[in-house]
Amino acid sequence: MTDFLGKGLSFPFRFSPRTGGTAVSSSTSFHPDHIHESITQILGTRLGERIHRPDFGSRLHELVFEPNDRILKALLRQYISQALRRWEPRIRVTSIAFDDNPVVTDQNRLDVHMHYSIIATNTEANFVYPFYRQPPT
């Protein structure tokens, strides 16, 4: 039974047709997908962006103009860990790494590889979050 992983509105919000008719309903996501969508929402939301919950989100947007160096990576680790520890209680982040291969390195995009365990089942999972130092074009 995996009900503890949750079910909720999918992110980004969208509509999907109901089977057997023309009515539409909001799409929902289940279990691991719901956790990944939650991580995306947490890391992609600036502190103060939500009116009724100004402390929700992360500080990642503060790093947009920082040089792509080891200091940026250390701050990314810290801000991601803080935000997920506070806002995603279903998981425990076990490691955060970066793809430093010069062949695939884009100076404006840094892929953050997160490994985490789902606390209730002690199941290992991973997620890649693309951090853009400048808005993607």
Residue 88, helix vs strand vs coil: coil
Pair 87, 60: CB distance under 8 Å: no
Range 3-132 classified under CATH 3.30.230.10: no
Q: Which among 6, 65, 2 is positioned nearest to 30, based on CA atoms?
A: 6
Cis peptide before 130 (omega within 30 of 0): no
Please name the helix (run of DSSP H) or strand (run of DSSP E) that holds residue 84, with its range, or none: helix 70-87
Task: Delimit the domains of the chain by residue range.
Answer: 3-132
pLDDT tens digits in sequence order for the chain, 137 residues long: 445 445 555 555 555 555 555 444 444 444 678 899 999 999 999 999 999 999 999 999 999 988 888 999 999 999 999 999 999 999 999 999 998 766 555 677 889 999 999 988 889 999 999 998 775 55
pTM of the model: 0.75
